[in-house]
Amino acid sequence: MRLQTLLVMVVVAVGGLAAYDHFRPRAVAPSAVAEVAPAPRKIVVNANPVEDRSWIKPRDGQPAAAAASPYQCDGRTMCSQMRSCGEAQYFLQHCPGTKMDGDNDGVPCEQQWCG
């Protein structure tokens, strides 16, 4: 009976070793990883991020926010980058670092749009 027990233990041990060898993770050659890896993605960072809070509901008793402007600060600073006088006025009033009011009279892009 001891021989049977010993044989069963040997068979179980060999089976366990075979299963371990079959299921253990294999090392991958670095060259194979380099071929499969996707190209790195470019990360675009906005220099003047605008935080959108339009999804936040006002509390009871608070007035709702004014209608959203069709414009947003997106880094444009020059008159040549504007499409209308209204857009230039918005950028001059709401966005930092604009270069659209050369004579500092509060009227932007006088030669191109608002003159």
Question: How many domains are there within the chain?
Answer: 1
Return the pLDDT at 27.
72
| pLDDT at 20 (0 to 100) | 87
Does a structural domain hold residue 97?
yes
Of the chain, the percentage scoring pLDDT greater than 90 comes to 37
> Quick check: is 47 in a domain?
no
Q: Is residue 50 part of a domain?
A: no
Instruction: Tell me how far apart the alpha carbons of residues 22 and 25 are, in angstroms, rounded to a whole number.
Output: 9
Q: Which domain holds residue 93?
A: 69-115
Residue 85 covered by a domain? yes
CA pair distance 105, 5, nearest whole angstrom: 100
The answer as to whether 58 is a domain residue is no
How far apart are the C-alpha atoms of 20 and 36, rounded to whole Å? Answer: 27
**Residue spans of the chain under pLDDT 70:** 1, 28-37, 46-50, 58, 61-67
Residue 83 is predicted with a pLDDT of: 92
